[in-house]
Amino acid sequence: MHIAFVLEDFSLGGVERVTEQLIIGLKQYHDCSISVICLDTNGELYDRYQYLGQIHQLAGRFDFSGFRRCVSQLSPDLVVFTKGGLSRFSFVAPRNIKTVAVQHVPINLPQEGKLKNVLRRLAATFLYRQVDKIVCVSEGIKENLTDFKVARKQDLIRIYNPVLDPSLINRAKESVEYSDYYVCVGRLHFQKGYDFLVDIIADVKTRHENIKVVILGDGPDRDLLTTLIAEKQLSNNIILHGATDNPYKYIQHAKAILLPSRWEGLPTVLVEAAFLQTPIIAFDCRYGPKELTANGKCGYLANFEDKDKFADYINAFEDDKSEQLASPDVSSFLLEAAAANYYTLFKSIL
């Protein structure tokens, strides 16, 4: 089976990391042939993708003629749009080529105004009529698309991301330069709620002066966060580490992983933390934390924006009074299982 994956670029983001893992699984377990079509070759993962399949770059974000020409030349059995918005290219895909889109986030985003969310919904509703199947990364995302009538139920399928690979355990054993710390993983962006985190840690610091949080990631809000951290006198407590190609070792050695996000699809970092048996403290945001932690039975969930409760959970860890919880079941996120689910879907479409 020849599959062409369409990516925006090769940045060190969740979608790009998950897609890399899926390609590895499809090649390793199902002997698939892979091509990659991208809008831009920038990003830390470019060199790694070169080992996975031939890369073809379009001339821009709306190079429809280039996309059609590329797909016609490659003649794959199936094209996978790794983000919903990329399915705009489905209009010009040759009729004999099957298409799949992957939806990672809710269709209505909290940071967007009402009008923009309406336009997002209308565009998605139109685009998703053109593809053969829409993969939702969580039950929450699937329900979101159904509730807003973006896609027909029969066109939707939930497949968890291929996040976990046995090699992850070995990478997690590497030493780190920090000790006695909590970790956050994700780009520095409004979505991730790091402004909430600054307030939470300022609260915790009133009881635990040496509280330390390491944030792994980079992004557009770095300057804003640096200013907020300085204003709250937390420069010794919140460390903006920057991006890393091995977040696993920092997750493994942390006291807990913190997720103060405003929204998610199903946060990859929580799956990785669960696999490495690192405790989870998170807001019960849409979507994923509740689904992954079995409604809070396998993780510490604070109601969304309840910063006091979030701080209470951290204080309990600092006081050695945190309740022992069961680890979430993440077997469906193993590389072999997730790749098999995708492969079964692809075969059914073809």
Same fold, 2-162+334-349 and 167-330: yes
Two tokens, residue 250: 């920092």
**What residue segments make up the domains of the chain, in order of their start?**
2-162+334-349, 167-330
The one-letter amino acid code at 155 reads D
Mean pLDDT by 10 residues, the chain (350 residues): 97 88 96 97 93 95 96 96 95 93 86 79 91 95 92 94 89 96 95 97 97 95 96 97 93 97 90 95 93 92 96 95 87 94 97
Q: Please give the pLDDT value at position 342.
A: 98
Q: Please give the pLDDT value at position 111.
A: 65
2-162+334-349: CATH architecture: 3-Layer(aba) Sandwich (3.40)
Using CB atoms within 10 Å of the CB of residue 101, give its burial: 0 to 12 exposed, 13 to 18 middle, 19+ buried: buried
Question: Any idea how long the chain is?
Answer: 350
Cα four-point dihedral sign 282, 313, 325, 269: positive
Q: Please give the pLDDT value at position 105.
A: 87
C-alpha 199: how far from chain center = 24
**In angstroms, rounded to a whole number, what is the distance separating the alpha carbons of residues 62 and 126?**
17
**In angstroms, rounded to a whole number, what is the distance separating the alpha carbons of residues 205 and 211?**
6
Are residues 260 and 194 in contact, defined by beta-carbon separation less than 8 angstroms? yes
Cα angle for residues 127, 132, 133 (degrees, 5° grid): 90
Parallel, antiparallel or unpaired: strands 98-103 and 257-259: unpaired
Cα→Cα distances 236→21, 76, 139, 226, 343, Å: 35, 52, 39, 12, 47
**In angstroms, rounded to a whole number, what is the distance separating the alpha carbons of residues 302 and 3?**
41
Per-residue b or e along 258-274, where b marks 16 or more CB atoms closer than 10 Å to that residue's CB: bbbbbbbbbbbbbbbbb
State yes or no: cis peptide before 287, omega within 30 of 0: yes
Beta bridge partners of 194: none
Backbone angles phi, psi at 214, to 5 degrees: -105, 120
Are residues 251 and 272 in contact, defined by beta-carbon separation less than 8 angstroms? yes
The answer for 75, left when phi > 0, alpha when psi is -120 to 50, beta otherwise, is: left
Cα angle for residues 98, 103, 109 (degrees, 5° grid): 145
Q: Please give the pLDDT value at position 5.
A: 98
Beta bridge partners of 263: 286
Residue 12: partners with Cβ closer than 8 Å, 6 or more residues away:
43, 44, 45, 243, 245
167-330: CATH architecture: 3-Layer(aba) Sandwich (3.40)
What is the biggest distance separating any 2 CA atoms in the chain, rounded to whole angstroms?
Answer: 64
Residue matched to tokens 């409604």: 295
Long-range contacts of 227-231 (CB under 8 A, 24+ apart): 228/195, 228/198, 229/198
pTM for the model stands at 0.84
